């Protein structure tokens, strides 16, 4: 029983690593335009989350929560 669990875990790890290698080979470096788009979207999202946190913090200060 214990031997079968080790084989299953080993098989799963081997499968996982082979899938990781396959994905790694499919990766490509983003071009300048794609990188700038991703950076803009990330910055906008970060700004929205920061603004929301600021608004919540100010509401807590004014409401004395």
pLDDT in tens, 37-54: 999 999 999 999 999 999
What are the backbone dihedrals phi and psi of residue 29, each rounded to the nearest 5 degrees, phi first? -75, 130
Whose tokens are 């803009």? That residue is 40
Distances (CA, A) of 48 to 37, 43, 51, 61: 17, 9, 5, 20
**What pLDDT is attached to residue 6?**
58
**What pLDDT is attached to residue 11?**
87
pTM value is 0.58
């Amino acid at each position: 029983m214990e031997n079968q669990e080790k084989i299953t875990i080993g098989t799963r790890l081997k499968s996982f690593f082979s899938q990781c290698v396959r994905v790694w080979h499919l990766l490509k470096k983003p071009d300048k335009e794609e990188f700038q788009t991703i950076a803009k979207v990330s910055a906008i999202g970060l700004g929205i989350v920061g603004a929301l946190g600021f608004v919540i913090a100010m509401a807590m200060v004014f409401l004395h929560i």
